Amino acid sequence: MSGNERSTTTTTEPLLLSAQQAAELLGISRRHFLTLAEAGQIGPEYVQLGNRKLWIRDELQRWVISARCPCRREWLQAQGEGGGPPRDQQKT
């Protein structure tokens, strides 16, 4: 390799994770991840892409690192999505 050439190996991490990938990121089994998600114990909700349920990597990481893994209800409230009418429909 000459002085002007660089070896660039880039690995791109997916933005959206399957249940298997999300479970691996959290260090648990896929089955346990899905059980927790169904029970509302995984804070972030999945997004639907076609017929696939996928979780947003960044949101899962924030849920663990910043929020310390609260249940879905608490997570959504902390994100400003916790029930009640939309802000534009709230009575003042």
Q: Please indicate, yes or no, if residue 84 is contained in any of the structural domains.
A: no
Structural domain span for residue 20: 16-73
Q: Please indicate, yes or no, if residue 83 is contained in any of the structural domains.
A: no
- Categorise residue 80: left if φ over 0, alpha if ψ from -120 to 50, beta otherwise: left
| Phi, psi dihedrals of residue 42, rounded to the nearest 5° | -95, 115
> Where are the extended beta strands (E) located within the chain?
16-17, 47-49, 52-56
Between residues 28 and 9, the one the model is more confident about: 28
Total domains in the chain come to 1
Q: Please indicate, yes or no, if residue 5 is contained in any of the structural domains.
A: no
- Tokens encoding 1: 């390799």
Q: Please indicate, yes or no, if residue 86 is contained in any of the structural domains.
A: no
Q: Please indicate, yes or no, if residue 7 is contained in any of the structural domains.
A: no
Digit-coded pLDDT (tens) for 20-48? 999 999 999 999 999 999 999 999 999 99
Cα–Cα dist 90/92, whole Å = 6
Q: Please indicate, yes or no, if residue 39 is contained in any of the structural domains.
A: yes
When pLDDT is cut at 50, 70 and 90, the band that residue 9 belongs to is confident
Q: Please indicate, yes or no, if residue 58 is contained in any of the structural domains.
A: yes
pTM of the predicted protein model: 0.76
When pLDDT is cut at 50, 70 and 90, the band that residue 5 belongs to is low
